[in-house]
Structure 1
Amino acid sequence: MSDEKPPSGGGAHVTIHAINGGSQAFGDHGRAESTNHTTVVADQAHGRVLATVRALRRDLGEGGQSPHDEDDEEVVAALDEVADEIARNGRSASGPLTRLRDLLADYAPATATAAAVTAVLQALAPVLG
């Protein structure tokens, strides 16, 4: 075993008992997946919005589960729009944020994830003023 550190700058580096910067799969049905997210957030308020939006999105069935009704679809679309914009630009324009806030204000009483909705609304308040 070596005390060498993996090279910096990305890429995969494999040593006995360690894999850095890559994915490996073994066996007949082995499957390797690697997901990388790079997000540059302009300020702490937008960072909090992004975190709470992602949490609510997971609660509402991310990963292929379809929304239950039109209200769910509209909220999910607005959550995705805001999360994508913040992840890409570090901030979001007030239009999508305001639309999301208004949708969630109407949606909150009807959802089982009221705590997550409330967290997003609280995170939006300092950004929108």
Structure 2
Amino acid sequence: MSGDGDNGGGAHVQIGSITGGSQAFGAHGRAVSTNQTVVVSDPRQQHLLTQVRALRGELHQAAELTADDEALDAELGEVEREIGRAGHGDSGLLGRLRARLEQYGAAAATAASVTAVLQAIAQVTG
């Protein structure tokens, strides 16, 4: 155990407080910890990344994802990772996402986000 005041930068648990980590409790507990730092220099790519994340967030608000929702989420995740890794979305990947979104039978709750992502892709790819 480390000395007083030295937690070594790891997780710290105190009754009523958790910092530096994720905890799950109960029979079906699930802990997820996501730390991302993405620096994207092109404002169009940053806008696309923001719209992709917003759409993914809306998809995950649904009570139950359909197979189409899950496929769309997988492609959105791939675009998100690509922009985070390379600073831009691959044109082939963006083309596939654009085609899926154009065919996607979006629910009313996600229609605005689908449109926003399509517009952001158009700004990036022309």
Q: State the TM-score, normalizing by the size of structure 1.
A: 0.70
Task: Spell out, residue by residue over 1:65-117, the C-alpha distance to the aligned partner (whole angstroms, 9 max, x if none).
Answer: 8862221111001100000000111001101101111111111x432311111
Aligned to 2:59: 60
Which of the numbers 2, 5, 14 marks the counterpart of 1:26?
Answer: 14
What letter matches 1:127 in structure 2?
V
Distance 1:50 1:102 in 2: 18
Tell me, which stretches of 5 or more residues in structure 1 are unaligned?
A: 1-13, 15-20
Find out whether 1:102 has 2:99 as its counterpart.
Answer: yes
Distance 2:88 2:63 in 1: 27
Task: Spell out, residue by residue over 1:29-81, the C-alpha distance to the aligned partner (whole angstroms, 9 max, x if none).
Answer: 6433375321121411111100000011011117xx88622211110011000
Find out whether 1:78 has 2:75 as its counterpart.
Answer: yes
Aligned to 2:119: 122
Q: Indicate the larger mover: 81-90 or 53-62.
A: 53-62
Aligned to 2:49: 50
The alignment covers a number of residue pairs equal to 106
Structure 1 stretches of 4+ moved >3 Å: 21-25, 33-36
* Cα contact 2:106–2:114 (8 A) shared by 1: no
Helix, strand or coil at the partner of 2:114: helix
* Cα contact 1:42–1:91 (8 A) shared by 2: no
Helix, strand or coil at the partner of 1:39: coil
